[in-house]
Amino acid sequence: MKQESVLRPEVLTRLEEIGRVDLIVGIPSFNNARTIGHVVRAVSAGLAKYFPEFSTLLVNSDGGSRDGTTEIVAREEFHAAGIMVAAPTRPLAKVITAYQGLPGKGSAFRTIFEIAERLQAKACAVVDSDLRSITPEWIQLLLAPALHEDFDYVCPLYSRHKYDGTITNAIVYPMVRSLFGKRVRQPIGGDFGFSGRLASHFLKYDVWGSDVARFGIDIWMTTTALSGDFRICQSYLGAKIHDAKDPGADLTSMLVQVTAALLAQIEAHADHCLAMDGSEPVPEFGFRYEVGLEPVPVNLKRMVEAFELGVREFDSIYAGFLGPDTRTGLAALIGQTPGEFHMPTDLWVHLVYEFAAAYHHRHLPPEHLLKSLTPLYLGRTASWVVQAAPFGAHEVEVELDALSARFEALKPHLRVRWHERR
């Protein structure tokens, strides 16, 4: 169901002046003055270099920055000198506005979706405002498949360190692949392309007062596209380097947010997800190349200790929804030395599926349930660190493909647990 406009009166007036536009790039922001200038320059150069004959618009959807972020967006201009490209035939238009609604990336995206619909954009992209590695080529790779090849959704494909992105690698990628049937390697990458048709489709959903608006927009967009009649692809962008994150950030909060958003989408599309068998690759654009990646420090001993403590402390909780074989398998892992710690793949798959079924049956409040997943996830991560120590990039992908294949093979376990009477 379509919602009332969230655009401010001055924005509506500006859109009337613009009339229509071919391409839109949206940049959500909140206090990103240190990095957003580079992002704007890369976007501007990419539009000028690869789409000079099209009308273009940059939308900065801001969450109330107080560090000069929006002022930097306003004054950054395209300069052709030094990048081997002629000046575009049409100037880049800009809309800079504070979004309305719940604080979060999803609310920022909602503004971009509505602007895209009102201006009848052919293709759109959204990129993070703290990117340090974005290049003009990113814009071409995110927009061109939607503009020229009739794809509706363009997922990013990045090179990442083997110890980075473990929530995606251990949970999100294999679950999306198994339950939605497409091998979208990074469903929550953050930078996406999409058609104007899909932007309008996103606006039909009344989710903007929920966690989708706060922190669940990436997985919501991906799974909404996957469950509809839309053509999906992915584009290789190289390495993704962000602005520095708070090293004291709570892992539990991140795991709970990401997993809750994913499980809510599985719940929303349960008939589609449970009926799906197997998976298929999606078309890929871009030229793959080796990139240098910054090392990711890990504390193996601390992860194993947290796993063992969690298994003991949450045992009475796990008894309510984990199967006897699963709990026996967890108990058997206690006492391993950190350097040799190993969690069997099938045990991990059963754990994730049994948590998904417990979420469906509302065995516990979702936040409490998923907090109890944290120590088990740390155990899986410790096992991966040991296993992947000698791996190069190719071996990492081979092993993650094998993990995802086990999620597909063991999917009957989820179906049984999902349909159990409680």
pLDDT tens for the chain, residues 1 to 422: 456 889 999 999 999 999 999 999 999 999 999 999 999 999 999 999 999 999 999 999 999 999 999 999 999 987 665 666 666 778 899 999 999 999 999 999 999 999 999 999 999 999 999 998 999 999 999 999 999 999 999 999 999 889 988 999 999 999 999 999 999 999 999 999 999 999 999 999 999 999 999 999 999 999 999 999 999 999 999 998 875 444 334 578 889 999 999 999 999 999 999 999 999 999 999 998 877 777 788 899 999 999 999 999 999 999 999 999 999 999 999 999 999 999 999 999 999 999 999 999 998 999 999 999 999 999 999 999 999 999 999 999 999 999 999 999 999 999 999 998 76
* Domain locations along the chain: 9-285, 300-418
- Name the DSSP letter for residue 20: -
Both tokens of 257, joined, read: 């947010």
Contacts of 388 (CB under 8 A, 6+ apart): 162, 163, 395, 396, 399
Q: Torsion angle, CA of 9/11/17/23, rounded to 10 degrees?
A: -150
Both tokens of 391, joined, read: 């791996």
Nearest to 216 by CA among 229, 198, 202: 202
How many residues are present in the chain?
422
- CATH fold, domain 9-285, is Spore Coat Polysaccharide Biosynthesis Protein SpsA; Chain A (3.90.550)
Degrees to nearest 5, angle at CA 48 with 110 and 136: 70
Contacts of 151 (CB under 8 A, 6+ apart): 145, 193, 195, 231, 232, 233, 283
Q: Torsion angle, CA of 362/368/374/375, rounded to 10 degrees?
A: -100
Both tokens of 224, joined, read: 């909404």
What are residue 280's DSSP bridge partners? Answer: 182
Instruction: Note the helical H segments in 296-392.
Output: 300-313, 315-318, 324-331, 345-360, 366-371, 374-388
CB neighbour class for 87 (10 Å; exposed up to 12, middle 13-18, buried from 19): exposed
| Phi, psi values for residue 125, rounded to 5° | -140, 155
- Residue 13: other Cβ atoms inside 10 A: 10
- Residue 295: other Cβ atoms inside 10 A: 8
Distance between CA atoms of residues 116 and 54, nearest Å: 15
What are residue 126's DSSP bridge partners? Answer: 26, 192
